[in-house]
Chains A and B, each alone.
Chain A
Amino acid sequence: MSWEAYDPSLAAHDLVQDLKWDPALRALFKQNEAAVLDRYPTMLPAERRAIEQRDFRALYDLGMHPYLGGQLSRFIWGNDAGGGAIEASNRLVASLTGSTASIPEKP
């Protein structure tokens, strides 16, 4: 990876910050993701599509910062140390690489 594609203007970065800082928004994102995404009028159609399709490869190619991409994966798949966060990083890596080869079997 490199910073070549990185685009700080993506609205997805603000989405992640807002979800991180606002538990109510996080709950709404779980219930009605589209209603939350509607709040970001500058979000590119391709950016929104990548989030909806859980296509992190496409999202990163559009310029998503990987640290915030990792956090987005945890809003979607889980955030607890021993369970959801592992699921999230496994799914994220599978989406980014198109492979599960680097994912450890344990824990």
Chain B
Amino acid sequence: MAEIVFAAGIPHAPAVVGLFDKAPDEARAVVAATFGAVGRALRAAKPDVVLVFANDHLTNSRITAYPDFIIGHAAEHAGPHEWFKEWIGCRDWALPGNPEVARTLFKGLTKRGFRMNVEAGPLKFDDNLSVPTVMTELDSTGIPVVPILQNCTVPPFPDGARCYALGQAVARCIAEDMPAGLRVALIGSGGLSHEPGGARYYKIDEEFDQLFLKLASQPDHATFLREITIPRMEQAGLGGTAEVLSWFIVMGAIGERRGESFGYTGWPSFRCGIGGVVWEVA
């Protein structure tokens, strides 16, 4: 029986890298505190593998044949993909994969009723994995990563209840299908409020973001699932805010746990609300 030793939810807005130096002090402090705390807690948990549930922003598939979930099966993952390098403004990175864990997830989640897809070759990564990796220096740890890319922007996409149920299936897969003693970390990468490419590109819904961070940090998931609906997400930013569905998967996997967050900033030029949560799982 493998165990979950770490769980966090973090945003991946590219501007936290590219515009970090131009941001006001209070916004920079929140970015540094959030990614710093996640990086330290992740290292302290000494995981053998990190499952990163990250949004796919139409980076790997055409809109006419769009998968809801893709598991990255490759032995190595690298990024950012060429066109995104200057947009994010971050260094290149590479992470070892874990094909055995990817294969176990594919088999185990399929068996439990979830339509997953697998990419055997290299996936293209944009800010989804690049920003968490460089901001926590995950690539300096040598810990293998299995990315699970998720559709939350091409309608219709799996809703909060479905993503939470997927997380519960991930937990069973870890507990029942993965080798005893394997230490598994979970990260949800996405959100908070934003409307990428939309008329409200520069609007951030701080009220939504604060409610979301508060409810995500409390061990009361019935209230969380009732309040954080897709219509409310889309009111807070169409096509972007629903990225928080990546956190629903992690929360479904760990069950009702308390979380700690590290401040919040809604600086408009980040074009995204910024805050993160590390949950108590040990």
Question: A1 to B20, alpha carbons, bound, how many Å?
Answer: 29
A-side contacts of B124, CB under 8 Å: 21
Asked whether A107 is an interface residue with its Cβ less than 8 Å from the other chain, the reply is yes
Please state if B201 and A89 are interface contacts (CB–CB under 8 Å): yes
When the two chains form their complex, are residues A8 and B63 in contact, meaning their CB atoms are under 8 A apart?
yes
**Which residues in A have their C-beta under 8 angstroms from that of B199?**
1, 93, 96-97
**Cβ 8 A contact of B19, one of A9, A103, A107:** A107
A81 touches B203 (CB 8 A): no
B17-A81 in contact (CB<8A)? yes
Closest chain-A Cβ to B28's Cβ sits at a distance in Å of: 13
* Chain B residues with CB under 8 A of A1: 195, 198-200, 238
* A interface bracket (residues with beta carbon within 8 Å of B): 35 or more
**Dominant secondary structure at the A interface:** helix
Q: Determine whether B254 belongs to the interface, using a CB cutoff of 8 Å to chain A.
A: no
How far apart sit A58 and B271, CA to CA, in the bound complex (Å)?
23
- Can you spell out 11 A-B residue pairs with CB atoms less than 8 angstroms apart? A1-B199, A14-B62, A14-B64, A66-B238, A67-B153, A67-B196, A81-B86, A82-B89, A89-B201, A106-B22, A107-B19
9 additional A-B residue pairs with CB within 8 Å, beyond A26-B83, A68-B197, A96-B198: A2-B238, A13-B62, A17-B62, A66-B196, A67-B197, A81-B14, A92-B201, A102-B203, A107-B22
